[in-house]
Chains A and B, each alone.
Chain A
Amino acid sequence: MIGQVFRRELLLAWRRPGDTLLPLSFFVIVGSLFPLGVGAEPQLLHAIGPGVVWIAAVLATLLGLPRLFAADQQSGALEQLLLSPAPLTLLVAIKVLAQWLTCGLPLALAAPLLALGFGLNFGELGILLAGLLLGTPVLYLLGAISAALTLGLRGGGALLGLLVLPLYVPVLIFGSGAVQAAAQGFGPGANLSLLAAMLALALVFAPWATAAALRISLD
């Protein structure tokens, strides 16, 4: 059951490559707007680079979230998942994992390329990548709660942003903070550990809260 849901999610993503490519290209475009907007001075770009990449990642995540449950709700598959004998918490976790693998992971892997344009050196690129690998799953896990809460509401997309962005503040701070700490000669260890702690916390609580939110939405 669990494996089938996982395979189905990956297959659906494979058949609709737009769902993956759209956030990815949005991420790159937002990132490349910054040098045009603030000026292409190398020192300035190097200073804002990590933050820009993280903000672009957060916005790109937001783009895919409304679709997390919407298609399944329209086709009725979501109700089947709710009725299935497997625990809903686990099914939700699998769906979020698949979404992260198809949207979040490509984003994290593309980030060093974008950051190269901001003049980050190789060490910093590695830390940025590590931070994104730890942080983007948290973004999807927290986002899933809000996506479930706003499921089927009018203006759900804009509302989703209002609900979820305040929750993203810590991830953003520690994610970009890791690279900035490294650039100033401190180790990135503390920031990355905190991101890992948030990931652990979100892994435990977020699928559970998402399942509860889905039950409320489909009540």
Chain B
Amino acid sequence: MFGPTLDRLAVPKFFYPFAGRLLPWLGWLAAGLLGLGAWWGLAVAPADYQQGDSYRIMFIHVPAAWLSMFTYMVMAGGAFVFLVWRMKLADMLAKCCAPLGASFTLLTLVTGSLWGKPMWGTWWAWDARLTSELVLLFLYLGLIALRGAIDEPQRAGRATALLALVGVVNIPIIHFSVEWWNTLHQPASLTRMDGPAIHPAMLTPLLLMIGGFMVYFVAVLLQRLRCEILEREQQARWLTELDAP
């Protein structure tokens, strides 16, 4: 199954069939993890002593928030590789990440807002986490818009890559600026030095959901990459010789 070596995978010709073989496995794994996590989180996990049942939106909200930032890092990695080594596939990766990241960010904002209404009594607060997540959404939208405005794929890729890297520098600055400016959101409870501050009964389904979101992200990314390859390599010979799937 893992026929081609790693460096050959950077070539669309070898990447395309490889991703195609990997996709069904990832799809089933994502469905399994998400199904198990959702069932565990919604039906098995105990109600919170403070928040009752409404905390259960966490099982969507936290993985989405995680992925909204993780996607940006993947995209920025692709942007960097493309700017330095001019690797076509890295640019396609960065391009495919942007709409995915924007959707995870939007999902985070919407679920957070739905959670915020019963907990904080308001749909929206100008709190640190919320505000920096909103700015992240604007960054994604800016990247998508910039790529859309430039016709030449090569130039569009390089311009977007540069902007993505400028955004990487800015994300921590924005994060800490709004952190010091105003904060209401609960502090991180998973990534702490002394271990997670969540009871295992809730932690297990949460980790399952995060894993499911990750695998789902990779699967959708691969599918998008395949479409992108088809679109950009229309004229390539290997593609015309390929049996249409």
Chain A interface residues (CB < 8 Å from chain B): 145-146, 149-150, 153-156, 159, 162-163, 165-167, 169-170, 173-174, 177, 194, 198, 201, 205, 209, 212-213, 216-217, 219
Contacts and interface: CB of A to CB of B under 8 A. Distances in A.
Nearest to B177: A170
23 contacts: A145-B163, A146-B163, A149-B159, A149-B163, A150-B146, A153-B149, A159-B142, A159-B145, A162-B145, A163-B142, A163-B146, A166-B139, A167-B167, A169-B178, A170-B170, A170-B173, A173-B177, A177-B181, A198-B173, A201-B169, A209-B162, A212-B162, A216-B159
Interface in B159-193: 159, 162-163, 165-167, 169-170, 173-174, 177-178, 181
Q: Give 5 closest A-B pairs by Cβ, nearest first.
A: A170-B177, A166-B138, A163-B142, A216-B158, A153-B149
Contacts of B141: 162
B155 interface: yes
Contacts of B165: 209
Contacts of A169: 131, 135, 174, 177-178
Given A166-B135, A170-B174, A198-B173, A213 B142 contact: no
Contact of B155 (A150, A159, A165, A216): A216
A169 B178 CA distance: 9
A159 B170 contact: no
B162 A165 contact: no
A162 B131 CA distance: 16
B75 to A, nearest CB: 15
B170 A167 contact: yes
B230 interface: no
Contacts, number: 70
B101 to A, nearest CB: 14
Interface residues of B, number: 26
Contacts of A159: 142, 145-146, 149
Contact of A174 (B150, B163, B169, B177): B177
A150 B150 CA distance: 9
Contacts of B139: 166
Nearest to B148: A159
Determine chain A's interface SS by DSSP, over half rule: helix
Nearest to A156: B149
Contacts of A163: 142, 145-146, 163
Given A162-B142, A162-B145, 14 more contacts: A149-B159, A150-B149, A155-B149, A156-B149, A159-B149, A162-B138, A167-B166, A169-B135, A170-B170, A177-B181, A209-B165, A209-B166, A212-B162, A219-B154
A7 to B, nearest CB: 30
Contacts of A194: 177
B109 to A, nearest CB: 15
A169 B165 CA distance: 17
A170 to B, nearest CB: 4
B134 to A, nearest CB: 9
Contacts of A155: 149
A216 B149 contact: no
Interface string B40-54: 000000000000000
B185 to A, nearest CB: 16
A217 B159 contact: yes
A173 B154 CA distance: 36
A198 B174 CA distance: 11
A154 B174 contact: no
